[in-house]
Amino acid sequence: MSRRPGRRFRPSTTPNKGTIEWRVEKRPNGEMRPFATILRWNVKIAGDEDTTRASGHFLVVTRLGPGGVCHVAHVDATDDPKANEIARELADKHARTFQCEKDKVIVVSEKRKDYARPYGERD
């Protein structure tokens, strides 16, 4: 997976206990096939290194299937009521064609400027 330095989750990152959302498509033969997942992660935000509790939440969109398994997008869900909707849109739009070894992870965050870059700004 391609990542820029400083754009990773901290070592204290843990998956949130809850639901994994599967994004599926109907294949020409009628079979349903998952192409992505969305999972909420608890993360420590910059400046929280001295605390034991994660203060942020990100939705991680993961590409599945032929062509590799990798993160497609990280959506800041800490204070954004539309985070689930955004993560679904990114999964549906990008996960099938995302090239794990070439494309950069898309990061969507309005408040975590130390982590994020604007959506669509893929360098």
Q: Do the domain assignments include residue 118?
A: no
Q: Give the whole-number percent of the chain exceeding pLDDT 90.
A: 50
Q: Do the domain assignments include residue 34?
A: yes
Which pLDDT band, with edges at 50, 70 and 90, does 119 fall under?
A: very low
Range of the domain at 30: 14-108
Give how far the C-alpha of residue 41 lies from the chain's centroid of Cα atoms, to the nearest Å.
9
Which pLDDT band, with edges at 50, 70 and 90, does 65 fall under?
A: confident
Give the containing element (helix H, strand E) for 107. strand 106-108
Q: Do the domain assignments include residue 80?
A: yes
pTM: 0.75
115 has pLDDT over 80: no
111 has pLDDT over 90: no
Structural domains of the chain, count: 1
Can you spell out the DSSP letters for 16-73? PSS-PEEEEEE-TTS-EEEEEEEEEEEEPPTT-TT-SS--EEEEEEEE-STT--EEEE
Q: Do the domain assignments include residue 18?
A: yes
> What rounded mean pLDDT belongs to the chain?
79
